[in-house]
């Protein structure tokens, strides 16, 4: 006898291919909860909370036993539904539950896309989404305990749709995906990543005006429904479209080369790295708008403003460094705004995330373009020429230059030498120790009270002392990282039916924590991925061992590690283990926690576990 369970739509069970009746609504609720926790024991207390929304009867536990016995009869396989203290367990085999198949297919689709295989990603993601027949468990009454779990499934579906659109765009299916994206946005209008995909697809079909109009529509929706402006990635895409940035063109694997074309001269090739000029003269006050709620960093903000405005020898710079998600950019942008009066020459801002891996020449050309020097068709032919032009353009002007998301010293070294009358503020994950004349400012997670307060403020609703305690629990599960807290707070603000207690319970399930800490174009995965991909490129001799060690920390659920433990995990000598630990610490995937001891936070460990499973599956 075969059984097939389905909850991605109306709850169904098929026995030998035939749909069987499942009984009363409460009986279907019981089955739904057990399927959501397939092959794990669910306590009687949690089952009672899910089946009875409020004020369960005194006979609730006895009623549960009755429903369980009836389900055993309906399934025709009593051994599947096991009474196991402190509750019940439903035994579900491989290939028997649509939710399990969906989750695995999405994971494999994301893996294929990250490995540069959008065709395979499209096939796997399409197969995953074809399993959906409607809203999850749409025929089952939603209780306060069950509702958030089903909402989390809807979120997973939306994330899969976003990734599917990304795969189709990567394959050049721009015209085809536009209609689908507009239809999806009809039900997910506040998802910034979908708006970004739509803008890019429209732009690549040659309709820049429609792409800009889509941004205006997205901005109106976000302001009207959430009271927020578009995030930095969507805003940057809008600016790139305005400037017809050549990097928005077709991916390299889709471009059609012209073998007969002669090689372009150096100046022309370089010009492609610089966005086309705006129709108006560029503004020197081009700082992004700071986040409206900036809490928990009062001391750090005051100190940073004091550092960048204090008298200092020419060429002295300030660098804020810290792991992913600690809010370095937000802190630096706030400080730059507060310090603006001290720099009458204006401020310059460049986000180097978009050109990671490029050198100082590209950094300088972006700054020169912002200064209006040179004209777009007159790009300097060499780095030394760009340095001289920057010196000439800034002589006699006290400027503040904010270089955000610097990845390595070579991106900024010549610029620092050229900044004789400028003050340079840098943000980076690594400590840029090879640079001279730098004041290093470390930044870590928030204090617990500040993290909980940030979450409560972002949620925007006052709660009881108990709710505040649950906000503290959420803050701990977010590792007190501002990015994770911002995402959690925004999700709680949008999901009015989610209490901090319910959301904390959802986050406590490690299988879904990274999925839940995704909001629009912001995600913990997206923040950590550049560090991991730096290891995969193998630019440093110890990178291979560092990847292996990171995977073992994830799969072993290890939170702290020293040289001896690393050597045991890798099966190598202590010196090789030290090099791997040092490499992970350099790129901030682990942090020192004592003499010779390193700590990996919970979110990074979960990311490491995902990457280890992806690597094993590949």
pLDDT at 264 over 70: no
pLDDT at 553 over 90: yes
pLDDT value of position 269? 26
Answer yes or no: CATH 3.90.480.20 is held by domain 277-442: no
pLDDT band at 567 (very low <50, low <70, confident <90, very high): very high
pLDDT value of position 251? 53
Of 54, 31, 52, 53, give the one whose Cα is nearest residue 42: 31
Q: Which two tokens stand for residue 467?
A: 């709710």
pLDDT value of position 375? 40
Residue with tokens 């306060």: 144
pLDDT value of position 286? 58
pLDDT at 294 over 70: no
pLDDT digits (tens, 9 = 90+) for 582-616: 999 999 999 998 888 999 999 999 999 999 988 88
Quick one: average pLDDT of 262-278?
30
Of 229, 223, 211, 144, give the one whose Cα is nearest residue 501: 144
pLDDT value of position 266? 29
Quick one: average pLDDT of 368-379?
58
What share of residues in the chain are helix, strand, coil (percent, to 5)?
A: 55, 10, 35
CA distance 566 to 556: 12
* Strand, coil or helix: 16: coil
pLDDT value of position 376? 38
Is residue 497 classed exposed, middle or buried when 0-12, 13-18 and 19+ CB atoms within 10 A define those classes? exposed
> Directed axis angle between helix 60-75 and helix 25-36, to 10°?
80
pLDDT band at 513 (very low <50, low <70, confident <90, very high): very high
* Strand, coil or helix: 522: strand
Half-sphere exposure of 310 (CA within 13 A, CB side): 12
Quick one: average pLDDT of 119-140?
91
Phi-psi region of 116 (alpha: psi -120 to 50; beta: other; left: phi over 0): left
Q: Could you tell me where the beta strands, DSSP code E, fall in 429-510?
A: 438-442
pLDDT top residue among 420 and 364? 364
Quick one: average pLDDT of 488-517?
85
pLDDT value of position 426? 94
285 pairs with which residues across the strands? 347
Whether 132 and 101 have beta carbons less than 8 Å apart is answered as no
Whether 226 and 191 have beta carbons less than 8 Å apart is answered as no
pLDDT digits (tens, 9 = 90+) for 409-424: 888 888 887 777 789 9
Is residue 531 classed exposed, middle or buried when 0-12, 13-18 and 19+ CB atoms within 10 A define those classes? buried
Quick one: average pLDDT of 136-161?
87
Q: What does the mean pLDDT of the chain come to? A: 83
Q: Which two tokens stand for residue 239?
A: 């600016």
Q: Which two tokens stand for residue 443?
A: 């930044």
pLDDT value of position 398? 84
pLDDT digits (tens, 9 = 90+) for 65-112: 999 999 999 898 888 999 988 899 999 999 999 999 999 999 999 889
pLDDT top residue among 258 and 403? 403
pLDDT at 333 over 70: yes
Quick one: average pLDDT of 535-541?
87
Quick one: average pLDDT of 151-165?
88
pLDDT value of position 378? 55
Helix (H) or strand (E) holding 574: helix 574-586
Phi-psi region of 532 (alpha: psi -120 to 50; beta: other; left: phi over 0): alpha
pLDDT value of position 252? 45
**Same CATH fold assignment for domains 1-155 and 525-617:** yes
pLDDT at 258 over 80: no
pLDDT band at 229 (very low <50, low <70, confident <90, very high): confident
pLDDT value of position 290? 67
Task: Compute, in degrees rounded to 10, the torsion defined by CA atoms 389, 395, 400, 405.
Answer: 20
* Strand, coil or helix: 556: coil
pLDDT at 618 over 80: no
Decide: pTM greater than 0.75.
no
Residues recorded for the chain = 618
Close Cβ partners of 587 (under 8 Å, ≥ 6 residues apart): 429, 430, 531, 534, 535
CA distance 418 to 81: 72
pLDDT value of position 380? 65
pLDDT top residue among 1 and 527? 527
pLDDT at 275 over 70: no
Beta strands at 597-599 and 560-562: parallel, antiparallel or unpaired: antiparallel
Half-sphere exposure of 222 (CA within 13 A, CB side): 20
Provide CATH code, domain 525-617: 1.10.10.10
Of 356, 389, 358, 351, give the one whose Cα is nearest residue 371: 389
Domain ranges of the chain: 1-155, 172-250, 277-442, 448-520, 525-617
pLDDT value of position 465? 42
Domain range 1-155, its CATH number among 1.10.10.10, 2.40.40.20, 1.50.10.10, 3.40.309.10:
1.10.10.10
Task: Compute, in degrees rounded to 10, the torsion defined by CA atoms 133, 136, 138, 141.
Answer: 160
Chain centre distance of CA 88: 36
pLDDT value of position 373? 61
Whether 553 and 394 have beta carbons less than 8 Å apart is answered as no
Least confident of 449-458, 479-488, 548-557: 449-458
DSSP string, 246-282: GGGS--TTT----TTSPPPPHHHHHHTTSPPPPSSPP
pLDDT at 455 over 90: no
Least confident of 201-205, 288-292, 299-303, 425-429: 288-292
Helix (H) or strand (E) holding 518: strand 518-519
pLDDT at 281 over 60: no
Quick one: average pLDDT of 273-296?
48
Close Cβ partners of 171 (under 8 Å, ≥ 6 residues apart): 118, 119, 122, 254
Close Cβ partners of 220 (under 8 Å, ≥ 6 residues apart): none
Architecture field, domain 172-250 = Alpha Horseshoe (1.25)
pLDDT value of position 250? 59
């Amino acid at each position: 006898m075969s059984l097939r369970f389905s909850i991605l739509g109306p709850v169904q069970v098929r026995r030998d291919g035939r749909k069987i009746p499942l009984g009363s609504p409460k009986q279907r609720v019981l089955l739904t909860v057990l399927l959501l926790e397939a092959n794990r024991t669910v306590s009687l207390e949690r089952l009672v909370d899910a089946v009875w929304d409020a004020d369960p009867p005194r006979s609730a536990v006895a009623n549960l036993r009755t429903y369980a016995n009836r389900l055993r009869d309906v399934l025709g396989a009593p051994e599947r539904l096991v009474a196991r203290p402190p509750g019940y367990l439903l035994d579900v085999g491989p290939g028997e539950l649509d939710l399990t198949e969906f989750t695995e297919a999405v994971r494999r689709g994301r893996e294929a896309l990250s490995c540069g295989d959008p065709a395979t990603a499209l096939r796997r993601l399409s197969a995953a989404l074809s399993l959906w027949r409607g809203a999850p468990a749409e025929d089952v009454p939603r209780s306060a305990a069950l509702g958030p779990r089903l909402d989390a499934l809807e979120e997973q579906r939306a994330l899969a749709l976003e990734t599917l659109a990304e795969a189709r765009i990567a394959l050049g299916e721009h015209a085809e995906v536009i209609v689908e994206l507009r239809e999806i946005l009809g039900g997910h209008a506040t998802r910034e990543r979908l708006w970004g995909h739509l803008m890019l697809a429209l732009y690549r079909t040659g309709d820049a005006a429609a792409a800009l109009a889509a941004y205006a529509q997205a901005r109106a929706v976000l302001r009207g429904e959430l009271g927020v402006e578009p995030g930095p990635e969507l805003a940057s895409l809008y600016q790139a479209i305005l400037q017809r940035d050549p990097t928005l063109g077709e991916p390299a694997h889709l471009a059609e080369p012209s073998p007969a074309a002669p090689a372009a001269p150096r100046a022309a090739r370089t010009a492609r790295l610089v966005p086309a000029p705006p129709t108006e003269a560029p503004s020197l006050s081009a700082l992004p708008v700071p986040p409206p709620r900036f809490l928990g960093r009062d001391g750090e903000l005051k100190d940073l403003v004091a550092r960048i405005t204090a008298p200092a020898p020419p060429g002295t710079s300030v660098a804020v460094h810290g792991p992913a998600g600690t809010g370095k950019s937000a802190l630096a942008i706030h400080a730059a705004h507060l310090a603006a009066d001290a720099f009458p020459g204006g401020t310059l801002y460049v986000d180097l995330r978009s050109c990671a891996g490029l050198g100082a020449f590209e950094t300088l050309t972006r700054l020169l373009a912002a200064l209006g020097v040179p004209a777009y068709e007159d790009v300097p032919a060499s780095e030394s020429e760009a340095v001289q032009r920057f010196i000439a353009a800034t002589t006699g002007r006290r400027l503040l230059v904010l270089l955000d998301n610097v990845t390595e010293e070579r991106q900024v070294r010549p610029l620092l030498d050229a900044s004789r009358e400028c003050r340079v503020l840098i943000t980076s994950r690594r400590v840029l120790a090879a640079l001279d004349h730098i004041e290093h400012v470390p930044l870590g997670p928030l204090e617990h009270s500040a993290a909980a307060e940030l979450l409560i403020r972002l949620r925007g609703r006052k709660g009881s002392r108990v709710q505040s305690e649950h906000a503290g629990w959420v803050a701990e599960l977010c590792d007190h990282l501002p990015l994770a807290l911002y995402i959690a707070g925004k999700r709680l603000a949008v999901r009015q039916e989610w209490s901090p207690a319910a959301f904390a319970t959802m986050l406590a399930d490690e299988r879904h924590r990274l999925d839940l800490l995704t909001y629009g174009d912001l995600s913990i995965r997206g923040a950590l991925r550049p560090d991991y991909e730096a290891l995969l490129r193998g630019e440093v001799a110890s990178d291979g061992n560092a990847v292996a060690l990171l995977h073992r920390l994830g799969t072993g659920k290890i939170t702290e590690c020293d040289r001896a433990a690393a050597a045991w995990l890798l099966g190598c000598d202590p010196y090789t283990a030290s090099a791997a630990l040092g490499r992970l610490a350099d790129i901030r995937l682990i942090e020192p926690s004592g003499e010779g001891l390193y700590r990996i936070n919970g979110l990074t460990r979960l990311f490491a576990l995902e990457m280890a499973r992806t690597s094993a599956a590949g």
